Structure 1
Amino acid sequence: MKTIYTNGNIYTMNPDEPVVQSIVAQDGRIVDMGTNENMNLQWGRNETNIIDLEGKTVIPGLIDSHLHISSVGINSQELDLTGVESKDALLKAIKEKAISLQPGEWILGRGWDENIFPDKQIPTIQELDHVAPFFPLFLPRICGHASLANSRAFTLSGYRSEMTIPYGGTVVLDPSTKRPTGLLLETASTIITSHIPKKTYSQLKHALKTALHDAVSLGLTGIHTNDPNYLGGAFQTYKLFDELVNKEGIGPRSNLLIDYDYLEELIALGMYAGYGNNKVMIGAIKLFADGALGGRTALLSRPYEDAPNNSGNAMYENEELYHIFKDIRKYDMPVAVHTIGDQALINVLDSLDQFQPAKIRDRLIHVSVLNEELISRLKTPHRIADVQPKFVSSDYPWITERLGEERANFSYPFKKLLQAGVWCAGGSDAPIEPLDPLLGIHAAVTRKKSGETHNGYNEQERLSMYEAIQLFTLGGAYATNEEKEKGTLERGKLCDMTVLSQNPFIMEDADELLNTNAEMTVIGGELKYRRG
């Protein structure tokens, strides 16, 4: 059946036909577009479904280029510590959670951020033990690159001072007692997580289903999501998405980033980058080159300004990184590499430059700390910078204390990247940042938090509204080599659209985005969500 979406203010993001009133969809694709009168005259016959857009603004379907959608769902069922404003409030939340649990249950959650605490102090293991003496506890920081655990969790994990910690990880010790402080950095968390009871298939499916519904309600028509570590491996991840998205029609189009640990499983299953269909598809192989700025584990070319003896953590030696890329390229697979610090990006590019490009673009995720030379090395048709604009409003101004003025002024340089001709895609990294793509667009345009009166952190890096929206539309399509399929609204392309309650292109104040909603979400010409 044909569907006409009519009476809209439709921004196609295609310069050859920038604004239309109506779009006609059939078999999932756009077959025509133009004025209300012409589209209704040509296509508005019997058995044509007509949906009135009521004058609302329509843009190409929003795509989140990097997130962990299953973790969004799982976190909604656990202790949410996002926005907790002090150490005391964090400890109180843990204590209240403990009261609700049965003996032996784990206290699990995520989201604490000491950078917003007045004293910036992280709870000690003694404080954690005091509020939760009978329950093992494991709480990742908001970035996921540092975690808190109590004594009971360490005991259950079999931790010993002489045990080998995975490369790139650190169990932070009290300098006087040489005993754990409760803080674990990077891969050290695996000594705890390997002992947390696994969720059942039905629990995982319920969590994923909830998050996929949320994504569509926020206007997302596509996501690039990294989930095997949360969903039990490559096969089970694909199976869950296949059941929910393909068979049950739930959620946005999903491109699945598969962690390097599951490469052999993926190959044994006969899967590869591009396997699947335009609703669920295997994407790039994901790995981490370093950590995060919040926990000072992002790998820098020179030490942190506020920790002169620390330059961060490399997840791999350079020789091992080279062999990992060699292993991935053996199957002509693209890579998606977490690189926050400048030295991490240097290490990755030095190894990656030794290989022929894969058929699908490699992506460098985050690229938070850059310089002119690194930007020029990113400017190739077979690479894309996968950036998270919301990091700007979350990380400033403390990022200046951590990096110093010079490097902070070259952090998250979105405008420089675009001006240099680097293709960029926009993501949230949810649950690290909120899932709502309009918050990422707002951060790209304003580079500040709501209510702040200055002109934005590194205001020269502010994007126009068009550029910011393009990050989350055409940019996302480029990241998966699907720019001929989606990212703009054109005849022959997939009919994926996001309908907004306000017109972002005429806003006098970008803060109006914070009061803007997704009114409708259209995927493949089908109305998947309608507000109210």
Structure 2
Amino acid sequence: MAKTIYTNGKIYTLDAENPIVEAVVVEDGRIIDLGSNSDMTLQWARVGTKITDLEGMMVTPGLIDSHLHLSGIANQYLDLDLAGVRSKHEMLEKVREKANTIPPGTWLIGMGWDENLFDDLTVPTIEELDQVAPHCPVYLKRTCHHAFLVNSKALEYSQYHPEIEVPSGGTVVLDARTNKPTGLLLESASQLITRHIPERSYDEFKYGLRQAMRHAVKRGITSVHTNDPLYLGGFDQTYQLYHELLNEEQNGLRCNLLIDYPFLKRLKERGMYAGYGNDTLQIGAIKIFADGAFGRRTALLSEAYHDAPEQYGDAIHEQAALFEIMKEARELAMPIAVHTIGDKALENVLDILDQFPNVGYRDRLIHVSLVREDLVGRLAQPGRVADVQPRFIVGDYPWVKERLGEKREKHLYAWNSLLSAGVMCAGGSDAPVEPIDPLLGIHAALTRRAPGDTHEGWNPQEKIGMLEALRLFTIGGAYATNEEQKKGTITRGKLADMTVYSKNLFAIEHVDELLQTDIEMTIINGEIQTD
């Protein structure tokens, strides 16, 4: 591969030794030099060297999304998209329209609804879903993927009956008067339905994933940490899909795969481990759920919900069972990545983690949405990373204030407190729960409010600055997978992954200009990615 000089840029390396340069030289997918335009041209411009003029644009290390589900984004190209729907009526009409296009008995799958956007905050009833889709089973995933709506046909196809055994940690919500299902399922109760939904074809999965990868690259993302085996037909099929799309088709995006704990045995059988693979496709940590989400009050709290004093949330596993899962992972020298939204869930996980030595790869606490002060120090250890999603501030406010109450709000999405205490944080989107666009995540980290809002931000003392926000989506993401020697900064010897912006984020007059900033180029392995 010929050398390329990316010249005439405002290049923020995030490397303290050379914080801002004008030009970067790449060869064979690596950065081999960087400095001023004149020096790099003088030293490296030869016959056959390609020179790309950045025209004064801002450049950073390639953006990394530290936690998302490419499988979920893929489904947006395959299923009914309910993201952004603003009323129950609109949601039902979308279901009706989709139902009218599919034959009787075909499953209608949708995702992305959020009743907190609705005027009356109520979700469709099972009777209403029956009315708009009487001929087909309906399964609709909430934006958080912790709550689900079904119609009677879905229950019928799933052979539901009042005495059916509900998977541990799940709830079938019943009508208080009739004791019949309302159509709402929480957490693992969804398995009653999903085990009866026909598997998508391999080609459908592959098509959706390919589109999801291209979508991510267009948003300036060069690497993702993605969790998918439960949604792509198991571990073997998931790995094969990614191998074909990345190593064979060379779609460009770098992917670190989080592996759900039920596939630990299969991972061992195949001789795979954390770090297995190459710089494009790599095995990551073992993914575990410790609790649910705030939306349906399933996140596990140490004190009851402010708006439901009898509810504390749900532990997905009993503490003894969680210990055994983590012990099994450690026996294979695997790091863990645990979903912890409530403070009690975080405490439970840390109590177990403290009993196991680090395995070399860092453990990840994903979301850490509510963090008591006494837990912050326990996170600030070299072998632990807080994997945060700044855009949650947009999806969860203002209703989350009522869920948790004023006393606990100061501990909610406490990014400044975490960083100030020395906690290493990585930044992600949890897409499709929130949009994959990192610029929206950076905007949320800086403002703690939704685009278009004009207030000072929710819990404003927890705002962080532009440099800190960019570090979340670059250095933090590299650190989470022990790849800080390969990526995260623009440094000699590292992978030539860079993101180019239409505006200089450090020079914008108002933070909302972020929302009018475009990604001009996504450079992976030294090459500009194109459709």
Q: Do they superpose with TM above 0.5?
A: yes
State the match for 1:340 in structure 2.
341
Q: Kindly provide the CA deviation profile for residues 468-503 of structure 1, in whole angstroms up to 9, marking residues without a partner as x.
A: 010000000000011111101011111110001111
Alpha-carbon distance in 2 for matches of 1:406, 1:75: 38
Q: Please, what TM-score do these two structures have when normalized by structure 1? A: 0.99
State the match for 1:452 in structure 2.
453
> SS at the partner of 2:231?
helix
Question: 1:394-473 residue pairs with structure 2 within 5 A?
Answer: 394-473=395-474
Alpha-carbon distance in 2 for matches of 1:365, 1:308: 26
Q: Kindly provide the CA deviation profile for residues 21-68 of structure 1, in whole angstroms up to 9, marking residues without a partner as x.
A: 100001111100011111111101011111111111100000000000
State the match for 1:114 in structure 2.
115
Question: 1:161-310 residue pairs with structure 2 within 5 A?
Answer: 161-310=162-311
| CA contact 1:522–1:529 (8 Å) conserved in 2 | no
Q: Kindly provide the CA deviation profile for residues 247-304 of structure 1, in whole angstroms up to 9, marking residues without a partner as x.
A: 2110411000000011111111111111000110000000100000011100000111
Deviation at 1:394, TM superposition (A): 1.6
Deviation at 1:243, TM superposition (A): 1.0
Q: Name the amino acid aligned to 2:204.
A: Q
Runs of 4+ in structure 1 off by over 6 angstroms are none
Alpha-carbon distance in 2 for matches of 1:236, 1:360: 25
Unaligned runs of 5+ residues in structure 1 are none
Q: Name the amino acid aligned to 1:373.
A: D
State the match for 1:65 in structure 2.
66
| CA contact 1:113–1:141 (8 Å) conserved in 2 | yes
State the match for 1:92 in structure 2.
93
State the match for 2:138 in structure 1.
137
> SS at the partner of 1:505?
coil
Alpha-carbon distance in 2 for matches of 1:504, 1:427: 19
Alpha-carbon distance in 2 for matches of 1:509, 1:251: 33
State the match for 1:505 in structure 2.
506
Find out whether 1:386 has 2:391 as its counterpart. no
State the match for 2:57 in structure 1.
56
Find out whether 1:33 has 2:34 as its counterpart. yes
Alpha-carbon distance in 1 for matches of 2:160, 2:105: 18
State the match for 1:478 in structure 2.
479
Aligned residues: 530
Q: Kindly provide the CA deviation profile for residues 434-469 of structure 1, in whole angstroms up to 9, marking residues without a partner as x.
A: 011111011000100112111111111111011001
> SS at the partner of 1:506?
coil
Deviation at 1:308, TM superposition (A): 0.9
Q: Name the amino acid aligned to 2:26.
A: A
Deviation at 1:352, TM superposition (A): 1.1
Identity in percent: 57
Alpha-carbon distance in 2 for matches of 1:394, 1:315: 23
Alpha-carbon distance in 2 for matches of 1:405, 1:529: 48
Q: Kindly provide the CA deviation profile for residues 120-169 of structure 1, in whole angstroms up to 9, marking residues without a partner as x.
A: 11111111111111110000101000000000000100111111100000
Q: Which deviates more, 520-529 or 140-149?
A: 520-529
> SS at the partner of 1:271?
coil
| CA contact 2:500–2:522 (8 Å) conserved in 1 | yes
Q: Name the amino acid aligned to 1:505.
A: F
> SS at the partner of 2:230?
helix
Alpha-carbon distance in 2 for matches of 1:215, 1:453: 29
Alpha-carbon distance in 2 for matches of 1:410, 1:288: 21
Alpha-carbon distance in 2 for matches of 1:441, 1:344: 26
| CA contact 2:105–2:137 (8 Å) conserved in 1 | yes
Q: Name the amino acid aligned to 1:237.
A: T
Alpha-carbon distance in 2 for matches of 1:225, 1:384: 16
Alpha-carbon distance in 2 for matches of 1:251, 1:373: 42
Alpha-carbon distance in 1 for matches of 2:95, 2:101: 10
State the match for 2:331 in structure 1.
330
State the match for 2:374 in structure 1.
373
Unaligned runs of 5+ residues in structure 2 are none
Q: Please, what TM-score do these two structures have when normalized by structure 2? A: 0.99
Alpha-carbon distance in 1 for matches of 2:362, 2:253: 21
Deviation at 1:80, TM superposition (A): 0.7
| CA contact 1:215–1:251 (8 Å) conserved in 2 | no
Q: Which deviates more, 277-286 or 265-274?
A: 265-274
Alpha-carbon distance in 2 for matches of 1:509, 1:266: 48
| CA contact 2:63–2:222 (8 Å) conserved in 1 | yes
Alpha-carbon distance in 2 for matches of 1:89, 1:528: 37
Alpha-carbon distance in 2 for matches of 1:308, 1:133: 38
Alpha-carbon distance in 2 for matches of 1:244, 1:188: 33
| CA contact 2:257–2:285 (8 Å) conserved in 1 | yes
Deviation at 1:528, TM superposition (A): 1.5
Alpha-carbon distance in 1 for matches of 2:285, 2:245: 21
Alpha-carbon distance in 2 for matches of 1:95, 1:245: 37
CA RMSD of aligned residues (A): 0.9
Q: Name the amino acid aligned to 2:409.
A: A
State the match for 2:125 in structure 1.
124
Alpha-carbon distance in 1 for matches of 2:102, 2:314: 36
| CA contact 2:252–2:524 (8 Å) conserved in 1 | no
Alpha-carbon distance in 2 for matches of 1:206, 1:123: 31
> SS at the partner of 1:529?
coil
| CA contact 1:272–1:333 (8 Å) conserved in 2 | yes
Alpha-carbon distance in 2 for matches of 1:469, 1:188: 38
> SS at the partner of 2:211?
helix
Q: Name the amino acid aligned to 1:54.
A: E
Alpha-carbon distance in 2 for matches of 1:281, 1:24: 26
Deviation at 1:77, TM superposition (A): 1.9
